[in-house]
């Protein structure tokens, strides 16, 4: 059984999709999707030999060699130029790594209709990259599992008229998630209570430091204030 987190990610992949799962590790996600939907096909990309071998193993065990193509390579480089991969999944990594993978592999995204991302931390970097590169967030969800809170976002290409951002509060929306902000769930509150404590500690330490970075402190204080406001 797939984790709740990956089940949510899978729920954004439409029937019959040809998709790439970058950083697939055991290839649990593509195997699950392709087993449930025999019209779906996937590329499972891995940069590390160990996870690549695990992915091959899972694919063989589930007899999905014709459906899930496991490839060793960095980020989006596993996608061939002529391949019409319409959905790209990048899950279970930090936001800045996801951002780097997207930025470095931009040329492979010409046929991409949807990017599904699940950053473990720093979702803001991913939202910013998506917004700067013509992908509009159409869906966001937040799930809790084993004491962790995960944000999952789906963004579509070329729907700039549907942008969920409002210029005056855009920075706030990038931090919390434009759609998550509209419908705050218990998991949202749990995540941001936790982030509040972390940020309070960081600010306290920064204030006690010999050399104070006042600009950074005031930036963090502004963020803390946003968190306080959203938690009310
Ligand atoms: N996507 C799976 C999930 O959400 O459960 C696995 C997440 S696992 C924590 C992250 C995986 O990303 C690791 O297996 C790692 O080898 C892989 N990875 C890290 N950087 C990568 C890159 N630049 N290209 C492809 N895979 C990468």
Average pLDDT for 93-103 = 98
Ligand 1 pocket, CB under 6 A = 6, 22-25, 45-48, 51, 74-75, 91-93, 97, 101
Q: What is the Å distance from ligand 1's center to 90 Cα?
A: 8
Does any domain span residue 179? no
Domain CATH number, residue 100:
3.40.50.150
Summarised one tens digit per residue, pLDDT across range 118-151 is 999 999 999 999 999 999 999 999 999 999 999 9
Is residue 209 located within the same domain as residue 111? no
Report residue 73: phi and psi, to 5°.
175, 165
Please tell me the distance from the alpha carbon of residue 45 to that of residue 43, in angstroms, as a whole number. 6
Buried b (16+ CB within 10 A) or exposed e, 20-35: bbbbbbbbbbbbbbbe
Whether 92 and 20 share a structural domain = yes
Task: Supply the angle between the helices 186-208 and 214-231 in degrees, to the nearest 10.
Answer: 150
Give, for ligand 1, the residue of 26, 43, 47 to mutate: max count of ligand atoms closer than 8 Å to Cβ: 47
Tell me: do 154 and 193 sit in the same domain: no
| Spatial CB neighbours of 165, under 8 Å, sequence gap ≥ 6 | 131, 173, 174, 178
Residues 16 and 47 in one domain: yes
Ligand 1, atom 3: nearest CA belongs to which residue? 92
Counted domains in the chain: 2
Domain that holds residue 140: 4-164
Is the domain of 147 the same as that of 208? no
Residue 60 is assigned to a structural domain of this protein: yes
Percent share of the chain, pLDDT over 70: 100
Judge whether 169 lies within some domain.
no
Residue 106 lies in a domain: yes
CA of 215 to the centre of ligand 1 (A): 34
Q: Which two tokens stand for residue 191?
A: 């995540």
Q: Is 221 part of any domain?
A: yes
The closest of 70, 78, 79 to 112, measured between CA atoms, is 79
pLDDT in tens, 45-72: 999 999 999 999 999 999 999 999 999 9
Q: How confident is the model at residue 116 (pLDDT cuts 50, 70, 90)?
A: very high
Any domain includes 173 = no
**Pocket test residue of 21, 23, 43 for ligand 1, highest count of atoms within 8 A of CB:** 23
In a domain, residue 178? The reply is no
131 and 204 share one domain: no
Mutate to test the pocket of ligand 1, among 4, 9, 12, 25 (most ligand atoms within 8 A of CB): 25
Backbone φ, ψ for residue 7 (5° rounding): -60, -40
Residue 159 has pLDDT above 90, yes or no: no
Nearest CA to ligand 1 atom 14: 25
Q: Residue 41 and residue 19: Cα distance in Å, rounded?
A: 6
pLDDT value, residue 4: 95
Q: Is residue 156 part of a domain?
A: yes
For the complex shown, is ipTM > 0.95? Answer: yes
My answer on whether 108 and 154 are in the same domain is yes
Q: Are 145 and 34 in the same domain?
A: yes
Residues 84 and 192 in one domain: no
Cβ neighbours of residue 108 closer than 8 Å, sequence gap 6 or more: 76, 77, 79, 81, 85
Residues 105 and 204 in one domain: no
Could you tell me the end-to-end alpha-carbon distance of the chain, in angstroms, rounded to an integer?
37
- In this structure, are 51 and 156 located in the same domain? yes
Distance, in Å, from the CA atom of 153 to the CA atom of 12, rounded to the nearest integer, reads: 9
């Amino acid at each position: 059984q797939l984790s709740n987190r990956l089940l949510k990610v899978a729920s954004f992949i439409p029937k019959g999709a040809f998709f790439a799962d970058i950083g697939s590790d055991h290839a649990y996600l593509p195997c699950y999707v392709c087993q449930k939907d025999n019209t779906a096909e996937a590329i499972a990309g891995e940069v590390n030999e160990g996870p690549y071998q695990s992915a091959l193993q899972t694919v063989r065990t589930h007899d999905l060699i014709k459906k899930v193509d496991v490839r060793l390579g960095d980020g989006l480089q596993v996608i061939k130029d002529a391949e019409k991969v319409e959905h790209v999944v990048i899950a279970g990594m930090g936001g800045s790594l996801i951002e780097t993978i997207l930025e470095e592999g931009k040329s492979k995204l010409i046929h991409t209709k949807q990017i599904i991302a699940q950053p473990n931390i720093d979702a803001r970097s991913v939202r910013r990259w998506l917004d700067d590169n013509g992908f509009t967030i159409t869906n966001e969800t937040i799930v809790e599992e084993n004491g962790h809170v995960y944000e999952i976002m789906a963004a579509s290409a070329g729907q700039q008229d549907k942008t969920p951002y409002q210029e005056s509060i855009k920075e706030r929306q990038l931090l919390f998630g434009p759609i998550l902000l509209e419908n705050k769930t218990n998991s949202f509150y749990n995540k941001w209570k936790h982030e509040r404590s972390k940020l309070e500690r960081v600010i306290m330490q920064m204030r006690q430091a010999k050399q104070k970075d006042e600009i950074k402190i005031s930036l963090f204080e502004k963020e803390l204030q946003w968190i306080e406001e959203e938690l009310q």
